[in-house]
Structure formats: C-alpha cells, structure tokens
Amino acid sequence: MASAPYELKETLLKIEGVNVSYDLPILRDVNAEIKDIHRPGLSQGQVVALLGPSGMGKTTLFRIIAGLNEPDSGIVTIGPEGKPVKRGTVGVVAQNYPLFRHRSVLGNLTVAGKQSGLSAGESLDKANEMLKRFGLEGHGRKYPSQLSGGQKQRAAIAQQFMCSDHLLLMDEPFSGLDLNAVSRVAAFITEVACADETNTIIVVTHDISAAIEVSDTLWILGREKDARGEPIPGAKILHNYNLIERNLAWHEDVTNMPEYHDLVREIRELFPKL
C-alpha cells in the first residue's frame, strides 16, 4: 500500500553538529532536522520518537533540545528563521507530570504564562483557552491531587504550551503503562500534534512498540564502530526511519499491521549492535 500524499515544508527544528563530552564523549556530531509535514486538506503535526539503549545519551540530547543544557559545540535552532533554542522556549513534560501541588490547574497554567512573559490578563486568557483545548473545562479550580492520571498529563501538557506554542518534549510518557493505557496516551499525543499544522512533539522513550505506534519519524541514537568493530565514544543519530514512507504513520490500527511487527522486530535486533 502506498503512503498517504504529503510534502515537507519549512524547517521547524534543526540540530547541527552537537557535541558533548564529560570525561569521555557522550554525543558526537549529532545532526537532525524536523520539517513541517503538510497533508492536503488536513492539519498534520509532527511526532518524532528518540530511541536508543540505556546510557546512550538520550537524556543529554533531550536537555540540549529543550535549551536546558548547552552543548560543547554545535547548535539547536527553532523555526524557519533558525532562532537558537533557549531555556523556556520549548515545552518539557517530565515523566511524573510535575505540577505545583499547592496551586490549582488554572493557577499552574497562569504561573507558566507569566514566566513566559505574558501579562496577568494575557496569561489568564491563554490559560482558559488551554483548558478548553485539552478538555479540562470544569477542572481549572481543582488541584493536581484531585485529577486522574490522564487529566494530570493533559494539565502538564497544557502548562507547557503556555510557554511554547508549538514545540513539546515528552520524557518517557509510556513508562509503567499497560497496553491499553499506552494506546490511549499515543492517541492523545497524536491529537495534540494534529491540533495545529506546526505542532511538533519529540518523545524520548525506551518503548520501541509505542514509539512506532505514535510517531511519523524515529531517531535512533547509537555509536559508530571503528575498523576493529569497537564502539567509537560518543553517540549520534545513526538511523532515521521515515514511517510515512513505510506506510506506518497515521493509521488507527497500525499495531495490527504486519509491517508494524516487522519493524518492531527489526529495531529490537538492531539495539544490541548500537
């Protein structure tokens, strides 16, 4: 079956020559680019999954993309104008949805808006808009302890979109979930991405199956080998899977497709070689 028609437009995020070392190189010459995926007649956001074995530098790259850490060399830029990423310009949803427990959902959102430079009135208006966008009307006066797990996730994502209109990083959103819950979270991530043409979500995960289910692109971190077959210190994006071309993007029933299971198997076999 042919992939759905689409075209790639302007650059939304670009990673160029990123290097990080501590005692040894952690990341080495990391390069990647996300472009706006345009589908005729549809609002189609982007979902990229970052995969790699434990200790490969996923968290380090996550923090650099978020503007939380600076690389030793190289740069991450946002948008077609190529603005360097800075702390606070990218939404970050941590694994445990760290909302302020002593503030209501609305309070969490307005604080985030003020920190991003909005006035009190602008922050309140945007917060109410976010409550509607994420299905949290009627929950604005509740505290995080009064929310379900799914509502907490929605509130945490809404909080981050108060700071970053279109770019969101998610750390292990599938951790500890059963298969049904994974599918619900994957569907929600897709919903958030497709709410706007330029919405872009980067998911860092160990879950290969969930990554394929939710993404249109996979980035896989690994280490190159020298002539003797020994790993060269410092990981880079060794494999870039275009799931659109593999006809594995934008299907509600993708987990039932033979091609899905073939790719899960392929990547699992790849991991020990990274």
Going from the C-alpha of 113 to that of each of 119, 196, 237, the distances in angstroms are: 8, 20, 34
Are residues 210 and 187 in contact, defined by beta-carbon separation less than 8 angstroms?
Answer: no
Boundaries of every domain in the chain: 7-90+166-273, 96-163
Say how far apart CA 99 and CA 147 lie, in whole Å. Answer: 11
User: Which of these, 51, 37, 64, 72, lies nearest to 212 by C-alpha position?
Assistant: 51
How confident is the model at residue 185, as a pLDDT? 84
Q: What is the DSSP string of 122-146?
A: HHHHHHHHHHHHTT-TT-TTS-GGG
SS3 of residue 214 by DSSP: helix
Q: Six-digit token pair at 199?
A: 């919405």
pLDDT tens by residue, the chain, 274 residues:
557 899 999 999 999 999 999 999 999 999 999 999 999 999 999 999 999 999 999 999 999 999 999 999 999 999 999 999 998 888 888 876 678 889 999 999 999 888 878 899 999 999 998 898 888 999 999 999 999 888 888 888 888 888 776 899 999 888 877 788 788 888 888 988 998 889 999 999 999 999 999 999 999 999 999 999 999 999 999 999 999 999 999 998 999 999 999 999 999 999 999 9
How confident is the model at residue 30, as a pLDDT? 98
How confident is the model at residue 4, as a pLDDT? 82
**Is the torsion defined by CA of 188, 190, 195, 200 positive or negative?**
positive
Topology, domain 7-90+166-273: Rossmann fold (3.40.50)
User: Which of these, 8, 52, 48, lies nearest to 27 by C-alpha position?
Assistant: 52
What's the predicted TM-score (pTM) here?
0.88
How confident is the model at residue 2, as a pLDDT? 57
